[in-house]
Structures are given as C-alpha cells and as structure tokens.
Amino acid sequence: MTDLQQQLHGLWLPLITPFRDGELDVTSLRRLVRHYAGQPVDGLILGATSGEGMSLGLGELEGLVSVVLAELSATSRHLPVCLGLSGASTARMKETLDDTADWPIDGYLIASPYYTRPSQRGLVQHFNALADHAAWPIVLYNIPYRTAVNLTNETLLSLAAHPNIVGMKDCCADRAQTIDFIARRPAGFRVLTGEDTQTFDALSDGADGAILLSAHVQTETFASIRMLLREGNRDAALAAWQSVAPLTRLLFAEPSPSPAKHWLWRLGLIDSPEVRLPMVEVSADLAAWLDAEMERRAQPMPQPA
C-alpha cells in the first residue's frame, strides 16, 4: 500500500485558490493554509474544480503548491497534498505529468476526459496510460455531470487493479452504483465521496471519507460526522449532519466556488471573493442570503496569525 493510499481517508479539503487583481493572492493563501492546518482535515487537494485549476497556468499551479507546502511546513502540520488535473488529451496529460513529476506532492486527482466522451474501453486505456507514466499515485475523479462520461463499476474495478491507482473521488450521483462499488472494490482501494449533499449517506454506506468544498465552513462539524459513525453513534452523526446539510445546498446555489469564496471573504480568511472568468462572483441576492446565514450561525472571526 502506498503512502497516499494509507492517508486517503477522513476529511479532505479541495482548497479554493484566492485571487486579487487577477493574480494569485499569496497573502490570503498563506492565511487559508494556516487556518485549515489547525482544523481536523486529513489532506488537501490543490488546483481542482474548487481551486479553479482549469484557469491556472502551469507556473501558477507550481506557485500554489510551493506556497501551500511552505506554509504547512511553517505550521509543523504534515498534510498530504494532491494536485487536481484534467484534460481531454491523453498525450497532453502525460506531458503535464512530466512537468509536475518532481513537484513535492503526494499524488494526483485526475478527472475523466471531458467533452470527448470516450468509451469505457477508451477510459481504461487512458487512465492506465497515465498511471503507467505518473511519478505519483493517482486518485480517479468520477464526475459524469461535468465530464459527460461515467466510469462504470466494471471500468473502475479494472482500473483499481493498477498499482498506481489508489482510490477514487466519487461524484457519480448514483447511490446504488456507489454501494455496489464499495462492496466489490479490492482491499485497500479508497473511496471518498465528493457529493457534498450526499455526504451522510455515502459515509453510512462505507465510504472512507469525503472531499468537500462545503467543509471550508464549519470544518469541525463535517469532520465529526465520520468519526461519530465509526464510533457507532449514528444519532449524533445524523444530528451533526443535519446542522450542516443546509450549507451543502447554499454553497452550491450558484456555480462553485463563488459562494464559498464570498463566505470566506466575509469571514476575513481571504481578501477578495474574486474568481476568474468564465466564473463570476455571486449575485446580489445570493450574497444577501449568504450574509444572513453567516449572521445566523454567528461564526467568530479567525484571529490573525
């Protein structure tokens, strides 16, 4: 079992990427890392969907990784870090794997090829080619409503046999498919849900953890759900879930990560809610809704580090 495979459980945070005046906001990024290093998170995903990775150049991605790892080191908190990647060309993805092979990361989160809609046979060949080529372990990202293609369970079982494919972020949005795969997966292959609104069900069904944009907010409560379930305290886990379930809808009321960035900006963790086109900041109506919910929850402002 690889190091990443052993660490791929619990609550992982797909960290947002803060911007200011069109550039990576390093000051806010450091503040974010310091804050979440003190929270019960088990790993970070950088430059994936929540991190607006498709809007980042390779140099910006490298800078993002460098700042995050330096800040983690300064806090003396070791967290595994995976880099989110996506692309429709196997050859170009292999080039990106080459470009990032010496980066000090722990693995990759790689989504299915988008737009091209390959067959299941093509998906197997694509991911096996990447896994053969990658210097770091790969976590599959199955999110058919973004990529227009679903990794079936037979395909996933085939890919799970590759020694460099160690787990999956599951956003298939089909509970029956998830339950079936969890029951049939090989020993040690990790499944983390990425469906924020279905977190409780997925963890109850045996998922090893969750990768949740919503956990930027009330992180401790999200982390407690799995721990309580593992302790057999389902009633307390359900109560914790019900207290944060409305956030999983509110933070996706408009395209993510704009609502979460607004919340973190109002909380003082980032200096701007800026996103990059084609993403736009939240509407005035949603901003008012978010502000009202923040006031209702009365979250204290983090103390300056």
Give the DSSP letter of residue 84. Answer: E
CB 290 within 8 A of CB 262: yes
Helix (H, G, I), strand (E, B) or coil at 20: strand
pLDDT value at residue 299? 53
225 annotated to a ligand binding site: no
Distance CA 278, CA 141 (A): 22
Per-domain boundaries in the chain: 3-242
Write the pLDDT tens digit of every residue in 68-117: 999 999 999 999 999 999 999 999 999 999 999 999 999 999 999 999 99
Phi/psi for 190 (5° steps) reads -90, 140
If residue 140 lies in a helix (H) or strand (E), which one and from where to where? strand 138-142
Whether pLDDT at 303 is above 60: no
CB 259 within 8 A of CB 282: yes
pLDDT value at residue 300? 53
pLDDT value at residue 245? 98
pTM: predicted TM-score of the whole model, two decimal places: 0.96
Interstrand relation of 19-20 and 23-24 (parallel, antiparallel or unpaired) = antiparallel
pLDDT value at residue 298? 75
258 annotated to a ligand binding site: no
Distance CA 63, CA 137 (A): 21
Whether pLDDT at 301 is above 70: no
CB 12 within 8 A of CB 211: yes
CB 88 within 8 A of CB 130: no
Mean pLDDT for the chain?
Answer: 96
Write the pLDDT tens digit of every residue in 166-212: 999 999 999 999 999 999 999 999 999 999 999 999 999 999 999 99
Q: Among this protein's residues, is 141 annotated catalytic? A: yes
Point out the catalytic residue in the list 36, 108, 141, 261: 141
Whether pLDDT at 61 is above 60: yes
CB 247 within 8 A of CB 290: no
Distance CA 288, CA 49 (A): 25
If residue 43 lies in a helix (H) or strand (E), which one and from where to where? strand 43-46
In words, the CATH class of domain 3-242 is: alpha beta
Distance CA 119, CA 186 (A): 23
Helix (H, G, I), strand (E, B) or coil at 245: helix
Question: Residue 230 is which amino acid?
Answer: R
Whether pLDDT at 231 is above 80: yes
If residue 167 lies in a helix (H) or strand (E), which one and from where to where? strand 165-170
Whether pLDDT at 304 is above 50: no
Point out the catalytic residue in the list 36, 108, 169, 261: 169
pLDDT band at 260 (very low <50, low <70, confident <90, very high): very high
Whether pLDDT at 3 is above 80: yes
